[in-house]
């Protein structure tokens, strides 16, 4: 194995369209709200979150993924708890 191969061993790039499965618990940043539905953008993917507090925009929340469509990279989730505020 060359030094170059050793240096880059195990290195991989994160994609802009992650895939999730129903039942996954993920931490996301709520980027906008539409009515009573919060929206989280994860790269080029979108997650609609039900049951968030009224002030959820620009906060980090823990979400249970309910549905996920790998074709459109979008899904729905249920709010569990707020874990932090935005650093902006």
Q: Global pTM?
A: 0.76
**Using CA atoms, how far apart are residues 75 and 81, in angstroms rounded to an integer?**
18
**Using CA atoms, how far apart are residues 36 and 22, in angstroms rounded to an integer?**
22
Domain ranges of the chain: 14-85
Architecture of domain 14-85: Beta Barrel (2.40)
pLDDT in tens, the chain (88 residues): 678 777 777 665 556 677 888 999 999 999 999 888 999 998 889 999 999 999 999 999 999 999 999 999 999 999 999 998 876 6
Decide if 47 contacts 63 (C-beta within 8 A). Answer: yes
Grouping H, G, I as helix, E, B as strand and the rest as coil, residue 11 is coil
Helical (H) or strand (E) element with 10: none
CB atoms under 10 Å from CB of 40, counted, come to 23
């Amino acid at each position: 194995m060359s030094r170059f191969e050793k240096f880059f061993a195990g290195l991989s790039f994160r994609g802009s369209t992650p895939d999730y499965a129903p039942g996954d618990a993920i931490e996301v940043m709520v980027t906008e709200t539409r009515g009573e539905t919060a929206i989280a953008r994860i790269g080029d993917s979108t997650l609609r979150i039900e049951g968030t507090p009224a002030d959820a925009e620009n906060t980090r929340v823990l979400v249970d993924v309910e549905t996920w469509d790998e074709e459109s990279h979008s899904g729905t989730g249920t709010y569990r708890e707020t874990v932090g505020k935005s650093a902006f």
